[in-house]
């Protein structure tokens, strides 16, 4: 099948010529090795100086099936004409691929893995801050970090389904009530909290009274089990630290979750929680290590 040159190649050539005084020699087309929604076709462009027979730079351009572009430049050395270790990414002048858009794609296609991976990365960074900044440890304790990451690996899939449960529990009721309220708007003026506000408050109440205590209990339990503590030791630790941690949690999370349920779209709620959990996780780790 004959592949048509895709838009952007000429503008890329002109851009590189303007910057480096180089000219495009040729390009060839071939299918990319990737599959799925981000598959596409490679275009290879050899660039060289006008007085030089050898190409000094090769540009690989990939056009995805959704119309976006990515460019990878492989710079050749002047002596042996070998590819250097450095790879430089040049985004399309007209249709750049943003990491954020790719992250959204992952949230929609593999939500549990993406949310868990995000929590693990932020949890690991939080553990670094805990050990190096607050505890000022000379040697980083990898085992301790692994225990915290294990907690996030267990917690995030549960959190994913918890938020889905809250949405299913209240959203349909809220939509029906909103339609009824619009029909009755002329007959009966709105007073007090709106239907949407009451739905948010119901989600908030369930989250703070059920899920938040569960998360704290699970944290101390997972850390205790991974530290190979006995059941009595875990129970003693929870009895000592749970209520202190819960009171601190209720000072932070109701306001966070009110914003989360009221303003943040469903797919991004755990991401929002993960960002705040970067700070909250540091507090939890300090309580766990006492």
**Does the pLDDT of residue 171 top 80, yes or no?**
no
Asked whether residue 227 carries a pLDDT value surpassing 80, the answer given is yes
Whole-number Å distance between alpha carbons of 159 and 249: 16
Give the pLDDT confidence of 233-273 residue by residue, as tens digits. 999 999 999 999 999 999 999 999 999 999 999 889 999 99
- Spell out the residues 6+ positions from residue 271 whose beta carbon is closer than 8 angstroms to its own: 107, 115, 118
CA 263 to chain CA mean position, Å: 18
Looking at per-residue pLDDT, the higher value among 114 and 68 belongs to 114
Give Cβ neighbours of residue 111 (< 8 Å, ≥ 6 apart): 160, 267
The backbone torsions φ and ψ at residue 190, rounded to the nearest 5 degrees and listed phi first, read -70, 135
- Give burial (CB, 10 Å; 0-12/13-18/19+) of 163: buried
Q: What is the pTM of this model?
A: 0.62
pLDDT, greater one: 172 or 185: 172
Q: Percent of the chain, pLDDT > 70? A: 58
Q: Which of 28-37, 146-155, 276-285 has the lowest mean pLDDT?
A: 28-37
**CA 69/CA 66 separation, integer angstroms:** 9
Percent of the chain past pLDDT 90, that is, above it, reads: 47
Contacts of residue 75, Cβ cutoff 8 Å, sequence gap at least 6: 56, 57, 83, 84, 86, 88
Rg of the chain in Å (alpha carbons): 27
Residue with tokens 């590819």: 83
Give 197-219 pLDDT, tens digit per residue.
788 999 999 999 999 999 999 99
The position carrying tokens 């709105």 is 190
For the record, the structure tokens of 132 come out as 């190096």
Please state, in angstroms and rounded to a whole number, the distance separating the CA atoms of residues 277 and 240. Answer: 22
Contact indicator for 223, 127 with CB cutoff of 8 Å: no
Which H or E run includes 104? helix 99-109
Structure tokens given for 78:
């002047």
Mean pLDDT score, 93-101: 54
> Residue ranges per domain, the chain?
9-97, 106-289
Please check the confidence at residue 97 and state whether its pLDDT lies above 90: no
The two structure tokens encoding residue 214? 């569960």
């Amino acid at each position: 099948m004959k592949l048509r040159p895709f838009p952007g190649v000429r503008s890329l050539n002109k851009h590189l010529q303007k910057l480096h005084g180089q000219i495009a020699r040729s390009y060839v087309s071939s299918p990319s090795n990737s599959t799925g929604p981000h598959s596409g076709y490679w275009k290879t462009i050899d660039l060289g100086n006008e007085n030089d027979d050898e190409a000094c730079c090769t540009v690989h351009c990939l056009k995805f099936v959704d119309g976006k572009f990515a460019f990878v430049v492989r710079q050749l050395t002047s002596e042996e004409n070998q590819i250097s270790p450095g790879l430089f990414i040049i985004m399309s002048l007209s249709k750049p691929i943003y990491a954020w858009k790719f992250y959204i794609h992952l949230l929609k296609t593999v939500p549990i893995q993406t949310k868990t991976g995000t929590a693990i990365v932020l949890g690991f960074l939080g553990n670094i801050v805990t050990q190096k900044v607050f505890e000022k440890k000379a040697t980083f304790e990898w085992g301790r970090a692994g225990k915290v990451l294990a907690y996030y690996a267990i917690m995030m899939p549960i959190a994913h389904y918890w938020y889905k449960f809250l949405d299913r529990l209240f959203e349909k009721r809220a939509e029906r009530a909103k339609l009824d309220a619009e029909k009755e708007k002329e007959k009966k003026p709105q007073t007090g909290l709106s239907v949407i506000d009451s739905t948010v408050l119901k989600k908030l109440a369930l989250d703070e009274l059920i899920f938040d205590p569960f998360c704290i209990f699970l944290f101390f339990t997972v850390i205790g089990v991974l530290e190979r503590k006995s059941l009595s030791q875990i129970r003693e630790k929870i009895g000592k630290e749970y209520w202190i941690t819960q009171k601190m949690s209720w000072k932070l999370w109701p306001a966070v979750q009110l914003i989360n349920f009221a303003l943040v779209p469903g797919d991004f709620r755990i991401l929002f929680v993960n960002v705040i959990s970067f700070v909250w996780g540091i507090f939890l780790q300090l309580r766990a290590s006492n």
